[in-house]
Structure 1
């Protein structure tokens, strides 16, 4: 009986287990480093890709080599301050000037405790600081759409307005809510419409430092003159003195990179 000798592309069932392990590792990396939502579909898809690659030796070796290189690169980023340059390139910080409104971009909310995330709180405090200093007479806050967070998660705008009321009482600043927003692009579109309705010519744009350059570019793309006055960074030290700070910086760099890729491909960037 004639049998063909095995080739490089002969399926090797024993390699499936290696492939599954690589797929699981991909899922963990995508979820943790890239801040991708860990949906069952995503994780099952990556497991399937890993299992398929494990069947064929060239694909298995290529996937293993790629993940090894990514692990070495990640270690290099965590052990050295090499990310300082790329991180600083994301930041636009300008002196505040007189404007028509202060736009406080949405950050996040802790659904389980009904509390603002550190970024949301920091952005709000920066906006209120600018208002109290007299740079603009009105603030905007954002109400996230139902596509963000859990079903019963409180709205960022509700929590921020409650915080404003607690701080200022009857002397609180006038506040407008940008309703039903999913992305920064949505916020830019809402502010553009308000600017046309109210005759605004310039706004102060408040967001996290690493989000400031992309946010300003989006607002300018919608015809809104936006001066970037970012809030303090609460998640990590921007000078990256420790591996923990560098890991957080790596996360936001990947997040911002993915947002730009999605925008270039015609998709909707994440917040």
Structure 2
């Protein structure tokens, strides 16, 4: 019994250390802003309302628009599906917003697939392979950078990240909650792969 208790204690300590290191990595990678150049800017989806991007998605689209203007990539890919009953998708709402903001329609590609980060990146990876594109600048929230980058690279993309610094997901009062969530989500994905990516709530 004494040996068993020691094993349990060591396992708990090891798990705690792993989570602490992962949390540090989440925060460190959140500070990275890599602006290409790349084949495409990829905007990871977030909620939309009847074709209008909600604040989280709009903040990501603003970042993508700025990157496009800086010529980080010659095109923007929006991604994300819709919920039952939705009149639009995250990808379509994002594409329409970018076009309204002056990005040429020919340079915006919508991939209306995915209800979570892995599904979305899987669809983007397939579309980029079909087009002969390989490198991507991922646009998402800072705390989501580590996990989305890891997934994209595992799916064969040469991926870097350039997060939005505005929007509801970036404010300091809520940072601890987002870091904790992403720490658990990244740990689940690291240990269990695609299956682990679906253990927490849907969406990026």
**Given the two structures, how large is their TM-score scaled by the length of structure 2?**
0.73
Partner of 1:221: 154
Partner of 1:255: 181
C-alpha displacement at 1:211, in angstroms? 0.4
Residue 163 (str. 1) matches residue 102 (str. 2): no
**Given the two structures, how large is their TM-score scaled by the length of structure 1?**
0.56
Alpha-carbon distance in 1 for matches of 2:72, 2:46: 22
**Residue segments in structure 1 that go unaligned for 5+ positions in a row:** 1-83
Q: RMSD between aligned alpha carbons?
A: 2.7
Partner of 2:35: 96
Computing the radius of gyration from Cα coordinates, the structure with the larger value is 1
**Residue segments in structure 2 that go unaligned for 5+ positions in a row:** 1-22
> Quick one: which of 34, 56, 72 aligns to 1:135?
72
Other structure's SS at 1:216 match: helix
> Quick one: which of 120, 125, 147 aligns to 1:192?
125
C-alpha displacement at 1:161, in angstroms? 2.4
C-alpha displacement at 1:189, in angstroms? 1.2
Alpha-carbon distance in 2 for matches of 1:138, 1:211: 22
CA deviations over 1:184-210 (Å, ceiling 9, x no partner): 111221222123222213111111111
> Quick one: which of 156, 165, 177 aligns to 1:232?
165
Partner of 1:107: 46
